[in-house]
Structure 1
Amino acid sequence: MSGSSPVEVAWFAALCDDDYEFLGVADPALASSWEHCRDITLAADRHGFDNILLPSGYTLGIDSAAFAAAVAPLTDQIQLLLAVRMGEMWLPQLARQLATIDQMLHGRLTINIISSDIPGETLDSGPRYRRTLEWMQVLRALLNGQPVDFHGEFVDLALDPPRASTLSGRCPPFYFGGFSEAAKETAAAAADVFLTWPDTVAAVGDTVADMRRRASRHGRSLRFGLRSHVIVRPTAAEAKTAAARLVSRLDDEAGAAIRRRSLDSASVGVSRQAELRDTSDEHGYAEENLWTGIGRARSGAGAAIVGSPEEVLAKLEDYRQAGIDAFILSGYPHLPECERIGRTVLPGLNHAPLAWS
């Protein structure tokens, strides 16, 4: 893959209590904490990952924005992909907060837009995504340093932008995922990078083609990212053994309880991950090197690329040929798998942060 056009390669900081040696078996040493998530982030920075996703949840883990502000001065080159749930914070304050964090990062902030319900309330998918779209539009304007005069269904705001601005004076790119019709249309209208979850290479290619058509109807273009787990070992057999070990102590009822804890546990995307799992072979493989066992105890991205470094690189190249510009990878436990990927896979990738005009 060294001769391919550059792709962005990111890692995952387990801010939402999603770190295990044995999937579904809680380990206090791997629980979300400042120290643990800091160590993951700094390891990814040290190994040369381009970006790192800082996920956001209410009932799980620690706060993503507070963590980003704390870890920003400790990093050298890595971008932070900060997950922000639309509607949780007053928009003008959110804009000031994000601009300040971008300054602390010397311009290395990217934003993961999340459209989940606000804790304590429930909205149907349609109005929830309409709210998300309004928030994205107004947040982008404020971070672009533009005055706002917006009177919508969910946002009613007229004000000048804050003095605090990003280092570039422009809004950082919005990364956004979702598989319902409302989610796809929101992404087509207002996102910069559309994120998809693990699926067969052909299905990922179909998603890319669909989203390109949708964005074109809005007079826009998108880039595309894949959020996937990875299990890499020196040989294919060792990687498959590691995958089997990861779920060797998993109780299916405990796994189902973990999935239900997530705010997105009933989404269209999660349903597709379950379908992928249900149609896999007896060992949980949906196709070569794509293992669905992780979805037995995890909502959201529920599959892993499993194999030797050469096989993992080949699989990533297949996804790149399907239109993927960015990979957000993770593995269990997150710190040692980050080290393995950093040593054995990252050197074979032609990677760099996505360039934005």
Structure 2
Amino acid sequence: MTRSPCEISWFSALCDDDYEFLGVPDPKLRSSWAHCRDIVLQAESGGFDNILLPSGYALGLDTTAFAAAVAPLLHRLRLLMAVRIGEMWPPQLARQIATIDQLLGGRLTINIISSDLPGETLASAPRYARTVEAMQILKTMLNGDPLDHDGTFWKLKLDPPRIGTVSGRAPLFYFGGLSEDAREAAAKGCDVFLMWPDRKAVVQAIIDDMTARAARHGRTLRFGYRAHVVVRDTEAEARTAADRLLSKLDAATGATIRAQSLDTNSAGVRAQAELRERAADDGYAEDHLWTGVGRARSGCGAAIVGDPDQVRAKLEMYRAMGIDAFILSGYPHAAEADLFARHVLPHIDHAPLVA
């Protein structure tokens, strides 16, 4: 069976997550307009299809402002702009999305984050229910349709904003989460379900479960895989580079970094911790899947490590399982983007996902 091209995205470290040595802050790699802009431009020149602009309340740069600023500098690259639903009023967010999409010439995609409002803590069920409502409101308005929404969190009757996206349709919504509430929210409202690294059998089980859930809502999903990469000329060099990342990290510093995240108690973060705890003594959970990154960050905590052929084969394995999009990163982000772009990307059939 002929597979469609997969989308290959990179990552811009807007949330103070760039290092030469994990856990050792480097002033030159801290989030700033210039540094994060340069990562985005590196991704465009390297041939990536898209780039994730992450969002954190406490750390780094404001994602929406950054997306608007960098959009006019780009000619081909898409932006995957993360938005924290708990901090947004959906009608205003719809206008921001439409405006930035116009600045990009129609190349904006959205990573929906089911966040709390800073200072607020909602239980899982209502927080994800609010996210589903937000996705419904956004899709209605960005599709150019009048809004008549009578929900639990918003009651709105509005005409669509005058400014719309270039296509006249809502951009693709990427969304991830492993809890029961998160999975149901994704099945109801997102377009691309994102997952963090895990063993092959676990990834397949998630794909199967989410496919069935979406079908029960009369929908289909695409699937995305978010991982770090360490690629070098040989496997030995790649494993040495991975070990070097951790060579100045102590356990207390790693725990402090992980605790800074707002999602430390989420099902996805717990799954990454379990993957790391069950890995072999060298940190590998399975061939070429290294969990050492998770010792110094919350969230996505594993890397694909190997020579160019091994990294490509790992990605092709996921493609065969049904993964449509990859969001990759490495440390330092600009340098690893260059290595991946030169040694792996030209040998993968890739293109932006289209709605």
TM range, normalised to the smaller chain?
A: over 0.9
**Aligned twin of 2:50:** 51
Instruction: Report deviation, 1:4.
Output: 5.1
* Correspondence for 1:222: 221
Q: Distance in 1 between matches of 2:56 and 2:38?
A: 20
> Does 1:117 pair with 2:116?
yes
The aligned residue for residue 161 of structure 1 is 160
- SS of the residue corresponding to residue 231 of structure 1 reads strand
Which residue of the partner structure matches residue 77 of structure 1?
76
2:61 aligned with 1:66: no
User: What's the CA shift string for 1:262-284, capped at 9, x where partnerless?
Assistant: 11111000000010001100100
Partner of 2:87: 88
Question: 1:158 & 1:5 partners in 2: Cα distance?
Answer: 40
Contact between 1:229 and 1:305, CA under 8 Å: does it hold in 2?
A: yes
- Distance in 2, matches of 1:115 and 1:276, equals 23
Confirm whether residue 207 of structure 1 aligns to residue 206 of structure 2: yes
Q: Distance in 2 between matches of 1:104 and 1:117?
A: 29
RMSD in angstroms over aligned alpha carbons? 0.8
Distance in 1 between residues matched to 2:111 and 2:149, nearest whole Å = 23
Residue 289 of structure 2 corresponds to which residue in structure 1?
Answer: 290
What letter corresponds to residue 62 of structure 1 in structure 2?
L
Q: Which runs of 5+ in 2 are unaligned?
A: none
Q: Which residue of 2 aligns with 1:143?
A: 142
CA distance in 2, matches of 1:94, 1:4: 35
Offset at residue 5 of structure 1 (A): 3.1
Following superposition, the deviation at residue 308 of structure 1 comes to 0.2
Please identify, of 88-97 and 99-108, the stretch whose mean Cα deviation from structure 2 is larger. 88-97
Tell me how many residue pairs correspond in the alignment.
354
Contact 1:228/1:328 (8 A) holds in 2 = yes
Per-residue CA deviations over 1:212-246 (Å, capped at 9, x if unaligned) read: 00000000000000000000000000000000000
Given the two structures, how large is their TM-score scaled by the length of structure 1? 0.98
Asked if the contact 1:202/1:322 (under 8 Å) is kept, the reply is no
Letter of the 2:305 counterpart: V
Distance (whole Å) between structure 1 residues aligned to residue 270 and residue 176 of structure 2: 14
CA distance in 2, matches of 1:85, 1:37: 19
Distance in structure 1 (CA, Å) of the matches to 2:351 and 2:50? 9
Matched, 1:193 2:192: yes
Q: Is 1:303 paired with 2:267? A: no
Equivalence for 1:35: 34
CA distance in structure 2 between the partners assigned to 1:4 and 1:186 by the alignment = 28
Q: Normalized against structure 2, the TM-score is what?
A: 0.99
- 8 Å contact from structure 2 (residues 305, 311) kept in 1: yes
Any idea what the Cα deviations from partners look like across 1:40-84, whole Å, max 9, x if unmatched?
000100111000000001110001100000000101111000000
Contact 1:138-1:150 at 8 Å conserved across structures? yes
2:262 aligned partner, one-letter code: L
CA contact (8 A) 1:131 1:154 kept: yes
- Amino acid in the other structure paired with 1:207: I
Letter in 1 for 2:227: S
Instruction: Tell whether the 8 Å contact from 2:222 to 2:323 is kept in structure 1 after alignment.
Output: yes
Which residue pairs with 2:333 in the alignment? 334
CA-to-partner distance for each residue in 1:79-98, whole Å, 9 max, x for gaps?
00000011312221111111
Question: What is the identity, as a one-letter code, of the residue corresponding to 1:31?
Answer: R
Query: Retained in 1: the 8 A contact 2:8–2:49?
Result: yes
Counterpart-to-counterpart distance in 2, 1:194 and 1:5? 17
Residue of structure 1 equivalent to 2:178? 179
2:348 is matched with 349
1:117/1:263 contact within 8 Å kept? no
For residues 275-313 of structure 1, the C-alpha deviation after alignment (integer angstroms, 9 at most, x for no partner) is 000110010000000000000111110000000000000
Corresponding residue for residue 101 of structure 2: 102
Query: Contact 1:18/1:31 (CA < 8 Å) preserved in 2?
Result: yes
Alignment of 1:225-236 (within 5 A): 225-236=224-235
The question of whether the paired residues in 1 share the 8 Å contact of 2:87 and 2:115 is answered with no
Q: 3-state SS of the aligned residue for 2:86?
A: coil
State the alpha-carbon separation in 2 of the partners of residues 271 and 148 from structure 1: 38
Letter in 2 for 1:39: D
Name 1:318's counterpart in structure 2.
317
Structure 2 CA distance for aligned equivalents of residues 186 and 67 of structure 1: 27
Q: Structure 1 residue runs of 4+, over 3 Å off?
A: none
Does structure 2 conserve the Cα–Cα contact (< 8 Å) formed by 1:87 and 1:135?
Answer: no
Residue type of the alignment partner of 1:267 = S
